[in-house]
């Protein structure tokens, strides 16, 4: 990614996105750092893995998390394993 992303806390409120999730998403976008198994599965669009790795809150809020990504997250940064790996690889090389 060519610039620094800062995700709006106000925009995330209606989706019930926790602050720690937003911080993990920013680290992923800006530095290519994985947010853990659950978040990586969500970003890769791996529903089965996401449900299997989610805690109770994120499992019940998975629909809202995906809605948030769909509406407010760069399309080139999520949706497939290839896109996620590209972000992680690109950011590590530029660091």
Buried b (16+ CB within 10 A) or exposed e, 61-95: bbeebbebbeeebeeebbeeeebbeebbeebeeee
What's the average model confidence in pLDDT over 6-24?
95
Q: Is the whole-model pTM more than 0.85?
A: yes
Tokens of 51: 């449900």
**For residue 63, is it within any domain?**
yes
Residue 1 clears pLDDT 50, i.e. is over it: no
Q: What is the pLDDT of residues 55-89, one digit of tens each?
A: 999 999 999 999 999 999 999 999 999 999 999 99
**For residue 18, is it within any domain?**
no
**For residue 82, is it within any domain?**
yes
**For residue 92, is it within any domain?**
yes
The domain in which residue 91 lies consists of 35-95
**For residue 2, is it within any domain?**
no
Report the number of distinct structural domains present in the chain.
1
């Amino acid at each position: 990614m060519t610039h620094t992303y800062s995700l709006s806390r106000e925009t995330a409120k209606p989706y019930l996105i926790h602050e720690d999730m937003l911080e993990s998403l920013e680290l992923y976008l800006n530095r290519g750092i994985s947010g853990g198994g659950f978040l990586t599965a969500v970003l890769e669009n791996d529903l089965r893995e996401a449900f299997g790795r989610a805690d109770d809150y994120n499992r019940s809020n998975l629909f809202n998390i995906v809605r948030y990504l769909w509406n407010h997250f760069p399309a080139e940064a999520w949706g497939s394993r290839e896109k996620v790996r590209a972000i992680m690889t690109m950011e590590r090389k530029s660091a």
